[in-house]
Amino acid sequence: YESLSVGELAKKLGREPSEIIKKLFMLGVMATINQELDQDAIELICADYGVEVEEEVRIDATDLDTYFEEDENENTADIKERPPVVTIMGHVDHGKTTLLDSIRNTKVTEGEAGGITQHIGAYQVVVQGKKITFLDTPGHAAFTTMRARGAKITDLTILVVAADDGVMPQTIEAINHAKAAEVPIIVAVNKMDKQTANPDRVMQELTEHGLVPEAWGGDTIFVPISALSGEGIDQLLEMILLVSEVGELKANPKRHAIGSVIEAQLDKGRGSVATLLVQNGTLNVGDPIVVGHTYGRVRAMVNDLGRRVKSAGPSTPVEITGLNEVPQAGDRFVVFEDEKTARQVGEARESTAIQEMRTEKQRVTLDNLFEQM
C-alpha cells in the first residue's frame, strides 16, 4: 500500500485505532486517526504485530515502454548475439519488392524444397550460417509507426535506388527517416542490368544528401545489384552481416519476450492474428501476453515458413493467435510471468484505450460543432 490512514490500518489489522496511535507514539510518531501513514510506518507497525505486508503489484498499465528499459540485474552471461532486423526503403518502382522476393527465393527455399512459404510480413534468411531478418512491410510505413511510437524496430535499412532513374523524392524521404531513427543505411544501386544504368550519377546525387561512397572517401557502403537477375545480392547480404557485426546486436534469450507488432488482422477462423517481432527474450506457446491494448495467451505460433513452432528467440518474426482483440502495427508487446498480471495490465490498457477513443469522439463532436457555427 502506498498510504493508509491510521484508522484504515487499524481496521485491516483488526485493532483499535487508539492502540495503533499508542504504538506510533512509542515509535516517536504523533498521529491522529485520520493521519496518512507512509509505507515505512505501515511496515513498522505491521512488523510489530508480526504481520507481513504483502507487496501490492504496482503496474504502470499505461506504458509498456518501461518493460523495454535495460535490466541492470540481467546476467551478462545470458546475453547473446542476435540477427539484424533489416528494412528495405526507396522510391516507388525502384525494385524493393523484387529485391525482397529475390532474397527470399534464393535463400529461403534452399533446403526447404516443397515448403510453401507463407506471407507473415517478415522473413528470415541464413547467410554464411548467420540469420538476417527482413521486414516485408513497406519501409516507410514501418518507419512512420516506429517514429510515432518511439519504438525502434530496425537495425539497418537498405536504400534501393534504380540506377536508370537516380535519386527521387521518396529516396530523400527514406534517407531522412533513417537518419532521424539513427539507423545505418546501405545503398543498393539496383537495375544494373539495364543499358541505361548510370551508377555514377546515383553516387553523385546521394553524395549531395550526405551519403558518400567509400570509394570517394565517405563511409557509406554502395552495392551494385540487379534484383531481377540476382546479380550482387550475395555481396549485399555480406555487407548486411558486416555492418551488423559493427553494431554488436545483442539480446537475452532467457528473459520473457518483448517486441513489436509487424502486422495484425482478424481471421474468420482463427480470430485475432498478429505477426510479432521478438526483440528480446524468447516467446513461447502458452505465454501470458499484453500486445498494445489487447491481451491473452499465445495459443499457437507459426514461423515465416508456415511451420508451427513452440518458441521464438530474439529477432524472430512469428505469427500468433490467442489475443482478445486485433492489435495495431507498431504496437509493443510484453510477456508476463503469470496470466493474472497479464490480464490486469491488459484490462487496464484496454479501458484506457476505450477512454481515449471516447475523448477523441467528444473532441471530434466539439470540432464539428465549431464547424457548424
List interacting residues with Mg ion (CB under 5 A): 96-97
Rule CB under 6 A: which of 162-191 touch ligand GDP?
190-191
CB 150 within 8 A of CB 180: no
Choosing from 104, 194, 270, 299, the residue that interacts with ligand GDP (CB under 6 A) is 194
157 binds ligand GDP (CB under 6 A): no
Spatial separation of the C-alpha atoms in residues 248 and 254, rounded to whole Å: 18
Nearest distance from C-beta of residue 99 to ligand GDP, angstroms: 7
Choosing from 172, 212, 228, 243, the residue that interacts with ligand GDP (CB under 6 A) is 228
252 binds ligand GDP (CB under 6 A): no
Q: Of 168 and 305, which CB lies nearer to ligand GDP in the complex structure? A: 168
**Block residue for cell numbers 533489416:** 86
193 binds ligand GDP (CB under 6 A): yes
Closest-CA residue to 24 (of 3, 46, 8):
46
Spatial separation of the C-alpha atoms in residues 41 and 33, rounded to whole Å: 14
The span of 62-70, 95-103, 201-209, 350-358 binding ligand GDP (CB under 6 A) equals: 95-103
Query: Is 193 among the annotated ligand-binding positions?
Result: yes
Give strand pairing partners of 333: 259, 291
Contact flags string 319-358 toward ligand GDP, x per CB under 6 A: ----------------------------------------
Nearest distance from C-beta of residue 141 to Mg ion, angstroms: 12
Q: Which of left, alpha, beta for 306 (phi over 0: left; psi -120 to 50: alpha)?
A: left
256 binds ligand GDP (CB under 6 A): no
DSSP secondary structure letter of residue 256: B
Query: Is 139 among the annotated ligand-binding positions?
Result: yes
Write out the three cell numbers for 213: 561512397
Spatial separation of the C-alpha atoms in residues 122 and 233, rounded to whole Å: 18
Nearest distance from C-beta of residue 96 to Mg ion, angstroms: 5
How many angstroms separate the Cα of 32 from the Cα of each of 29, 278, 341, 360?
A: 10, 53, 36, 45
Q: Of 6 and 162, which CB lies nearer to Mg ion in the complex structure? A: 162
Determine the size of the site formed for ligand GDP (CB under 6 A).
Answer: 15
Query: Is 136 among the annotated ligand-binding positions?
Result: yes
97 binds ligand GDP (CB under 6 A): yes
CB 298 within 8 A of CB 312: no
148 binds ligand GDP (CB under 6 A): no
233 binds ligand GDP (CB under 6 A): no
95 binds ligand GDP (CB under 6 A): yes
DSSP secondary structure letter of residue 220: B
CB 150 within 8 A of CB 159: no
- β-strands 221-224, 185-190 pairing: parallel
Residue whose CB is nearest to Mg ion in the complex, by number: 97
Which residues, including other chains, have CB under 8 Å from residue 90's CB and lie 6 or more apart? Answer: 96, 139, 159, 160, 161, 162, 170, 171, 174, 190
Give the annotated binding-site residues.
90-97, 136-140, 190-193
Q: Give the interface with ligand GDP as residue ranges (CB under 6 A).
A: 90, 92-98, 190-191, 193-194, 226-228
Give the annotated binding-site residues for GTP.
90-97, 136-140, 190-193
